[in-house]
Amino acid sequence: MDDLIFLGIESSCDDTAAAIVCGDGRILASVVAGQTELHSDFGGVVPEIAARAHAERLDVVVEQALSQAGVTLDDLTGVAVTAGPGLIGGVMAGVMMAKGIAAGRSLPLVGVNHLAGHALTPRLTDGVDFPYLMLLVSGGHCQFLRVNGPQDFTRLGGTIDDAPGEAFDKLAKLLALPQPGGPSVEAEAMRGDPDRFDLPRPLLDRPGCDMSFSGLKTAALRLRDQLIAQQGGLHQQDRADLCAAFQTAVAEVLAEKSRRALAASPVPLLAVAGGVAANGQIRAALQQVAAGAGARFLAPPLRLCTDNGAMIAWAGIERFRLGHRDGMDLAARPRWPL
């Protein structure tokens, strides 16, 4: 089985990505073309613009992945593609590309759930065994998944409103910091005092693993407006202190809910994926929780934590090994719960 070579295609949000991955987990190439600059004037991803950019770039990105890997379409065993959930125009562009290649070369086609791609990444990077707990925290997602098998996930809880990355991005906007907000808020927070402002810890008073982040952003907005009313503007230190308070609140909520998830469903490993996993304070808090529960903590390399084609190729390989194949009727799905 280890001579499998899959092409993976991802286009469900604002990254056009393709990768070539082997059955033994070797990543021969992983190409990601981001679109941040196309959306930067609009304060968020514009679905129409994203779809057009994916359609324009997919063949170039696939071509680059093949040439970097030193393989041709004839060397492939199969084609895996994100079939949802995501922005439908982008998902359709990827699915059409994958169908074209699969039909043209008589290759098996495997549709992959984007969230399964993230959730199975620890098996690609570290070959971990089932079951494990995955905290997926990105700009669009926030959920705890108990990963029991390649197609067997139990959702233990998730955000009831914003994803944490989205909240970081909105805070950055409020404070006139550059996008994406996560890295700029983290940089500010380094110089800030997390105790100067008192921000809420939403839903910690309720049992379970559901989370909420929109209230934090609203509380930060109120504090910002109070400071502006009192001082006529924001000082550099105010920004830093607000960022530090915000980041600490997010880290504490994620840590406490992870502790509960591990207590409710004990497993030997807590893994994290998504762009927010880049945050040092959040990582450290999660690491501590895992250690307290006697579990290992795993954060895959960031380029495999954020959207990429390698995780899709790998999830496709896992599904393929279970005998899963899709036909030319594979549909692009805007919503697709695991």
In the complex, what is the shortest distance from the CB of residue 185 to Zn ion, in angstroms, rounded to a whole number? 20
Contacting range for ligand KG4; rule: CB under 6 A; set: 23-31, 93-101, 213-221, 269-277: 269-277
Among 15, 166, 307, 318, binds Zn ion (CB under 5 A): 307
Q: Does 192 bind ligand KG4 (CB under 6 A)?
A: no
C-alpha 153/C-alpha 46 separation (Å) is: 30
Say if residue 186 carries a ligand binding annotation.
yes
| Residue 96, Cβ density class (10 Å: 0-12 exposed, 13-18 middle, ≥19 buried) | middle
Contacting range for Zn ion; rule: CB under 5 A; set: 56-64, 77-85, 101-109, 300-308: 300-308
Q: Compute, in degrees rounded to 10, the torsion defined by CA atoms 201, 206, 208, 212.
A: -40
Contacting range for ligand KG4; rule: CB under 6 A; set: 142-150, 176-184, 193-201, 222-230: 176-184
Question: From ligand KG4, Zn ion, none, which one binds at residue 65 (CB under 5 to 8 Å depending on kind)?
Answer: none
Contacting range for ligand KG4; rule: CB under 6 A; set: 25-33, 219-227, 272-280, 329-337: 272-280
Site for ligand KG4 in 5-44 (CB under 6 A): 13
Q: Does 183 bind ligand KG4 (CB under 6 A)?
A: yes
Nearer to Zn ion, 162 or 307 (CB): 307
Among 132, 153, 168, 197, binds ligand KG4 (CB under 6 A): 168
Nearer to Zn ion, 57 or 259 (CB): 57
Question: From ligand KG4, Zn ion, none, which one binds at residue 180 (CB under 5 to 8 Å depending on kind)?
Answer: ligand KG4
Closest CA to 68 of 105, 16, 30: 30
In the complex, what is the shortest distance from the CB of residue 13 to ligand KG4, in angstroms, rounded to a whole number? 5
End-to-end Cα, the chain, rounded Å: 26
Cα 17-321-156 angle, rounded to 5 deg: 70
Give me the residues that bind Zn ion (CB under 5 A), please: 307
Instruction: Using CB under 6 A, list all residues that contact ligand KG4.
Output: 13, 138-140, 165-166, 168-169, 180-183, 186, 274-276, 278-279, 306-307
